Chain A
């Protein structure tokens, strides 16, 4: 497959490099508006405040650096879970490898189809949470995605879905440069679980917009693919209605550069949100950045940010997490923890926790730690006969467990745990 389909090989700016898809007027307008925003923001550079710890150059250079494919003998993620599977190859939907787009309680369409219809409910959601999430911090690569992504799914959930939808993003071309944009609208009282896995492309830029209505639940478990040379930038934009639940967990191992942004806003009272991540990084080329921005604009909502990174052989982990509590968001409970476990002196963990609180009756706590493995704990285990390597693995998994515990489903949590355990014995 020619990975440059939809791209101008002779361009010299990122905006010109991609070709804006052509669809219905409303969609064209949204995309054009996003392009104007992107041009206005400019391409991010390491001089930008929000990219202080992560150089975005690999995410913005054109064309992308190639990334070798990674083959392994592990079964694909979520294989044992009863689910509806949808496959994208280098960012392009592959119906031949996918199940039918049928899930009870849901309507699933492709972005191509939805954006070519003259009238579609997605008009009010496509690009809107992304646009909303550009304040107060600019996220140019998300605007670029809205403007240029032709591929993705448009999902409407009207009931409690019994099965999850599992999207698998296969990386199949060493030079692929993919933009995927998914839109999910979960109606009142409905429930939906989204699973995502895979590296996706040599360079993968994804945006997920999720509107969770009153009393609705959204669960999200994602793994980002073991290809060592992949570059990934993802944005999740979520809006939470009254008494809704939003839970997102991401496991990241390997990859050269990963930047995961999550931008959530509470708009209805008594809602709960969690963004969690377990990361295992190996080698100097590994750089992983979680950047979270949670806005409390409703009463009695609870947000949790739980991020754990184990780093070895010169790997770098970054966490930037912010809780913004607006003046009327009384009784907010905001919790944030980010921890780095360094298995050697060459690895780095950088954290920037931020609280900005305008309401007076709130309970917010944040903590960030970085440390080495606890030698007293190791000695305790080895003195009972556990070999040192195994003792260290036990402690690494124990360290990551707090993030994995944020996954509600035990099956999914076990699957994640097994993958991380396997990772420790190889890369």
Chain B
């Protein structure tokens, strides 16, 4: 599904290298987790995959189902099936949440040559999905993320993911800022999307989310590289001992 090879990335504006050769292969239907110290390059990896400006790819490649992601505009990557749940979802005053969602859903359908949803069809689906995430109708009417609490913003990300039905979902710290119940809701939302084909890359600091969303593979990122890869037990190890041992081991 997602194949990242020796990805090296620096900042466009200043002479600073952030990713120093990331390798990552996620197969169809798999769930991978990335953990790692603050500033190790986890969000940067997700941004580069999604196509954010401001980064220079100096080496390596990233492919989604064999297509070169790095050559595409961000909207093309979305249409190809990539989705990023942001660590910090952006507030957009003046753009209604519903208008935004419908525009996005239909833009993707159009890009894939599918029929656009009518207002009625769209409304029906969004209401149903919002309900399961306990997002009330009032919130849907508000401008995108404006006045949403931290947890509401994260649930809104999952709602977008559910509506857009991507193939490859990247979740950047979707658990941070969530209370225990909200985390369960979000995890259920994610699990509901697991169908054996859709793949997930879950960036997190905490083992707790991984109790709910069971990963197949756990990676540790440090200094812009994946330094260790293992099974779910790796997350437990981090939870108990922190990163010191792992960092020392590879040093």
Contacts and interface: CB of A to CB of B under 8 A. Distances in A.
Q: Do A and B bind each other?
A: yes
B107 A385 contact: yes
Given A379-B52, A383-B74, A386-B75, A402 B94 contact: yes
Interface string A365-397: 000000000111101111111111010001101
A399 B74 CA distance: 23
B104 A385 contact: yes
Interface string B77-113: 1110000101001101111000110011101100100
A422 interface: no
A119 interface: no
Given A385-B75, A385-B78, A398-B92, A379 B107 contact: no
B95 A376 contact: no
A61 interface: no
A381 B100 contact: yes
Contacts of A395: 92, 94-95
Interface in B12-70: 50-53
B93 A385 contact: no
A401 interface: yes
Nearest to A405: B94
Interface residues of A, number: 22
Contacts of A376: 90
Contacts of B89: 380
A381 B50 CA distance: 12
B214 to A, nearest CB: 27
B164 interface: yes
B73 interface: yes
A397 B94 contact: yes
Interface residues on B, range: 20 to 34
B94 A401 contact: yes
Contacts of A384: 78, 100, 104, 107-108, 160, 164
Contact of B84 (A377, A383, A390): A383
Secondary structure type dominating chain A contacts: helix
A384 B103 CA distance: 9
A382 B78 contact: yes
Nearest to A379: B52
Interface in B157-212: 160, 164
A379 B90 CA distance: 9
Contacts of A394: 95, 99-100, 103
B94 A381 contact: no
Given A381-B104, A387-B75, A397-B94, 13 more contacts: A377-B92, A379-B53, A380-B89, A380-B90, A380-B144, A382-B73, A384-B108, A384-B164, A385-B111, A386-B100, A386-B104, A390-B103, A402-B94
A409 to B, nearest CB: 19
A264 to B, nearest CB: 27
25 contacts: A374-B92, A375-B53, A380-B90, A380-B92, A381-B92, A381-B100, A382-B74, A382-B78, A383-B52, A383-B74, A383-B75, A384-B107, A384-B160, A385-B78, A385-B104, A385-B107, A385-B108, A385-B111, A386-B107, A394-B95, A394-B100, A397-B94, A398-B92, A398-B93, A398-B95
A388 B104 CA distance: 11
Contacts of B94: 395, 397-399, 401-402
Contacts of A383: 50-52, 74-75, 77-78, 84
A349 B78 CA distance: 35
A388 B77 CA distance: 13
A385 B166 CA distance: 11
Contacts of B77: 383
A388 B75 CA distance: 8
Contacts of B75: 382-383, 385-388
Interface of B: 50-53, 73-75, 77-79, 84, 86, 89-90, 92-95, 99-100, 103-105, 107-108, 111, 143-144, 160, 164
A376 B93 CA distance: 13
Contact of B73 (A374, A388, A390, A397): A388
B111 to A, nearest CB: 7
A402 B94 CA distance: 8
Contact of B103 (A375, A377, A386): A386
Contacts of B144: 380
Contact of B164 (A377, A381, A385, A397): A385
Contacts of B79: 385
A310 B115 CA distance: 33
Interface centre among B53, B93, B95 (most CB of A within 10 A): B95
B37 to A, nearest CB: 25
A381 B52 CA distance: 11
Nearest to B52: A379
Contacts of B95: 381, 394-395, 398
A380 B89 CA distance: 8
Nearest to B89: A380
Contacts of A374: 90, 92
B80 to A, nearest CB: 10
Contacts of A379: 50, 52-53, 74, 90
Contacts of B111: 385
B145 to A, nearest CB: 9
Contacts of B99: 394
A417 B105 CA distance: 22
Contacts of B164: 384-385
Interface string A199-235: 0000000000000000000000000000000000000
A388 B76 CA distance: 10
A3 to B, nearest CB: 42
A390 B107 contact: yes
A184 to B, nearest CB: 33
Contacts of B100: 381, 384, 386, 394
Contacts of A375: 53
Interface centre among A379, A385, A390, A402 (most CB of B within 10 A): A385
